[in-house]
Amino acid sequence: MALLGRLIVATMPLAPKPIVRMVASRYVAGPKLEDAISTMIKLSSEGACFTVDVLGEEITSMAEANFFIDEYSQLIDSITKNNINAHISIKPTAFGLLIDQESAFENILNITKKASDNDIFVRLDMEDSRVTDSTIELMTRIRSEGLGNIGVVLQGRLFRTISDIENICEKLGQQSDFRICKGIYLEPKEIAHTAYGDIVDSTNNAIGHMLRNGAYTAIASHDYPVIENSLSLLKKYGLSPDSPPNSFPGKGPGYEFQFLLGVRGDLRRRLSSEGHLTRIYVPYGLQWYEYGIRRLKENPEVATHVLKALLMPWTNRR
């Protein structure tokens, strides 16, 4: 399977762009803000809520950050105007984290303030291990400015994740708020699990630590062993759809399930019909092609998932 993934990635640049666009259209709302809004309006009928991501990352000059500042600002206005139950997801390197940490902090602080004024939560996506420390630091600094509407993503595959959970929970207590996923970046074996079974176990372990600490836990996985284990953990820690809701608007009762747009909609709808809060990650933007190719190069396994979803749609319902 890994070989097939690498083959698809190697031949992808040869495919005509309209074909790549057709494949991508399942996973990306479209190039424009209006595409994200209409996708969310359409999917609202499935009982889901959303987190929206403007595609793009790792800018090469601070001037490029202005595009993301403007776009996220318009996105917040548009979510509010259309009264959609949506939060936002941000990639810190798109705001200059790898160029000028202080300016990136100011940029993301300003977006978080505007989001707070509109009751919108900001999730800092976690990128590769070069920025794990600085992304966590961004979140804790913004929290220390008195803003409670920001949380970070941790990646189950990294060895450090359990100690990151403990450190953040020690600082923020039950106000800690995580998205937990396996991690899309293939990190070296010195710092991360590399085998499927170990990644599932360590992700499940991380979810257990978050729930035990009373942290808000957004479980971002389409994998049955992670979902089923999470459902048992929720029972163990006394959490259910009937638990008291989190005080922040649009959040679940201490936990939620998150899915990528276009992936395993049948599982998402099942969880939603059982009463669990489900959130769809909706990416949009002009950089859909570059973003898709980069993601596939980082983790060729994604290419096999995409191909399987297209050839055998019954295994991966929208």
| Options 39, 116, 135, 155; binder of ligand FAD; rule CB under 6 A | 155
Q: Is 280 within 8 Å of 303 (Cβ atoms)? A: no
- The answer to whether 248 contacts ligand FAD (rule: CB under 6 A) is no
Residue 226 interacts with ligand FAD (CB under 6 A)? yes
Of the listed 143, 157, 179, 268, which one is catalytic? Answer: 179
Q: For residue 268, what is the DSSP state?
A: H
111-126 core/surface letters (b: 16 or more CB in 10 A; e: else): bbbbbbeeebbbbbbb
Assess 95 for contact with ligand FAD (CB under 6 A). Answer: no
Considering only the stretches 58-66, 97-105, 179-187, 244-252, report the one whose residues sit in contact with ligand FAD under the rule CB under 6 A. 179-187
164 binds ligand FAD (CB under 6 A): no
Under the criterion CB under 6 A, does residue 259 sit at the interface with ligand FAD?
yes
| Residue carrying the six token digits 């049955």 | 224
CB 288 within 8 A of CB 18: no
Per CB under 6 A, which region of 28-36, 158-166, 168-176, 183-191 contacts ligand FAD? Answer: 183-191
> Residue 288 and residue 105: Cα distance in Å, rounded?
25
Distance CA 282, CA 184 (A): 17
Which of 104/302 has CB closer to ligand FAD?
302
- In the bound complex, what is the minimum distance in angstroms from residue 210's beta carbon to ligand FAD? 15
Residues 6+ apart with CB under 8 A from 176: 151, 165, 168, 169, 210, 213, 214, 215, 216
Contact (CB, 8 A) for 32 and 75: no
Element at 50 (helix H, strand E): strand 49-54
CB of 194 to ligand FAD, least distance (A): 13
Q: Does position 306 bind ligand FAD by CB under 6 A?
A: yes
- Site residues for ligand FAD per CB under 6 A: 125-126, 153, 155, 181-185, 220-223, 226, 258-260, 263-264, 281, 302, 305-306, 309, 316
Active site residues: 125, 179
